[in-house]
Amino acid sequence: MTSLVIADDQELVRSGLQLVLEARGCEVLASVGDGRAAVDAVRSTNPDVVLMDIRMPVMDGIAATR
Please enumerate in sequence order all residues whose Cβ is within 8 A of that of 12, keeping only pairs 6 or more positions apart, or say none: none
Provide, rounded to the nearest whole percent, the portion of the chain with pLDDT above 90. 92
Element spanning 6, H or E: strand 3-7
Residue 65: what pLDDT?
92
What is the average per-residue pLDDT within 32-40?
96
Q: Which CATH class is domain 3-65?
A: alpha beta
Residue 63: what pLDDT?
93
What is the average per-residue pLDDT within 8-25?
97
Alpha-carbon gap, residue 18 to 6, rounded angstroms: 8
pLDDT band for 33, please (50, 70, 90 cuts).
very high
What is the average per-residue pLDDT within 36-64?
95
